[in-house]
């Protein structure tokens, strides 16, 4: 079996260092690069030939979903294995729509990550049982998986709610009237399928928006 060149993207230094140390002991690992931000990740991908990117979604500068989109736009052939602690179904559906090769929740542990890497090398894809459960549920309920796309204005609104800003403060930040800002907030609730400010904030956390 051919040895692999891997890129590990994880913003928490201690987690990344421990993860990297374990990966370097695996027989499939030839070279391992590390990145702590989305910008570093894209830089390494353009400069080096990477077989598999191990990508955390919540990064300090660029959301992981945007990294996946840029990779496809720039025709980067690296396989993408998402490893995240986020649990939002909306995030997972968006990742599947965007096009990833594998998904493992962090809580599932290192052994499953290694299994996923081997599977990507042999068969091309690997998705944890959480993904299969979600797709089976959608199939059973005959629901079409809704990809929820949030723009920058949507993200500003969610972040403002988290910090307790008033509608007036939000309106000032977005350069609009209070009435328009409130309308945007109500539409965002409908867009995300949430019912109030608390559930909208929870949505933001689950999907790595805040």
User: Per-residue pLDDT tens for 78-130?
Assistant: 999 999 887 667 777 777 778 888 899 898 899 999 999 998 988 678 888 77
147 part of a folded domain? no
pLDDT tens digit sequence for 182-193: 888 888 888 877
Examine the domain organization and report whether 101 and 13 are in the same domain.
yes
146 part of a folded domain? no
Predicted TM-score (pTM) of this structure: 0.69
56 in Cβ contact with 84 (< 8 Å): yes
82 in Cβ contact with 53 (< 8 Å): no
Dihedrals φ, ψ of 176, to 5°? -145, 175
Select the highest-mean-pLDDT range: 42-51, 79-88, 135-144, 175-184. 42-51
Q: Residue 70: which CATH number?
A: 3.40.50.2300
Residue at a domain's end among 98, 113, 140: 140
Select the highest-mean-pLDDT range: 76-85, 167-176, 179-188. 76-85
Q: How confident is the model at residue 26 (pLDDT cuts 50, 70, 90)?
A: very high
Residue 68: per-residue pLDDT: 92
Give how many domains the chain has, as a whole number. 2
Examine the domain organization and report whether 49 and 89 are in the same domain.
yes
Q: Long-range contacts made by residues 198-202, C-beta under 8 angstroms, separation at least 24?
A: 200/158, 200/161, 201/158, 201/161, 201/162
Q: What is the number of residues in the chain?
A: 210
Name the residue range of residue 175's domain: 152-206
């Amino acid at each position: 079996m051919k040895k692999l060149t891997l890129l590990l993207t994880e913003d928490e230094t201690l987690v990344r260092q421990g993860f990297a140390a374990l990966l370097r002991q695996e027989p499939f690992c030839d070279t391992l690069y590390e990145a702590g931000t989305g910008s570093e990740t894209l830089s390494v991908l353009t400069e080096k030939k990477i077989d598999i990117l191990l990508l955390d979604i919540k990064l300090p500068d660029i959301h992981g979903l945007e990294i996946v989109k840029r990779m496809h736009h720039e025709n980067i052939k690296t396989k993408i294995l998402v490893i995240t602690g986020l649990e939002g179904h909306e995030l997972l559906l968006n990742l599947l729509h965007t096009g990833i090769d594998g998904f493992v929740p962090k809580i599932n542990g290192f052994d499953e990550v290694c299994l996923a890497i081997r599977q990507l090398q042999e068969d091309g894809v690997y998705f944890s049982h959480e993904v299969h459960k979600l797709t089976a549920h959608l199939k059973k309920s005959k629901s079409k998986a809704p990809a929820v796309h949030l723009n920058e204005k949507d993200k500003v609104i969610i972040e403002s709610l988290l910090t307790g800003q008033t509608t007036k403060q939000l309106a000032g930040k977005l350069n609009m009237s209070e009435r328009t800002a409130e309308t945007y907030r109500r539409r965002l609730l409908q867009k995300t399928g949430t019912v109030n400010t608390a559930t909208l904030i929870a949505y933001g956390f689950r999907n790595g928006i805040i």
